Amino acid sequence: SAVVFFAIGAVVFADPPAVSVQQQADLIPGVGIFVHVVVNCGDGETDGTIEVGARQAGVTGDNVDTVPNAETRQEVAVFIPGSFAAGEAQASATLACGLLLSGFDLGRTINIVER
């Protein structure tokens, strides 16, 4: 007698890990800037680590922050100390989901505005 197996499978596509530096950053004069970054570790990870750096003329700075519950898409603001000024700057971000480097957004032009 022949045995026939039928396999029924469903494929669920999760959002891929992603990081995206947003165009506008907030200035606190003489103190630093808040760079806004959208992060998403996708399915299966809970916490992420975001590293953001910025450069403007002779001023550079960076900072690392933890993103709790990063398995869903969210926007975070990462503070970068430095004597930045209103105007254009460059920013880059890397995202680690768990222990794996999962995404990056490099050399993005941002606009720093005083609020």
Q: The pTM is what? A: 0.83
Say if domain 18-114 classifies as CATH 2.60.40.10: yes
| pLDDT for 43 beyond 90 | no
Distance CA 36, CA 91 (A): 10
Query: What average pLDDT does this structure show over 51-64?
Result: 97
Look at residue 115 in the predicted model and tell me its pLDDT.
Answer: 82
What are the Cα distances from residue 102, in Å, to 6, 67, 95?
A: 36, 13, 6
**Residue 72's pLDDT band (boundaries 50, 70, 90)?**
confident
* Every domain of the chain and the residues it spans: 18-114
Determine the Cα angle at 80 with ends 79 and 82, to 5°: 135
**Residue 46's pLDDT band (boundaries 50, 70, 90)?**
confident
- Regarding predicted confidence, which is higher, 99 or 85? 85
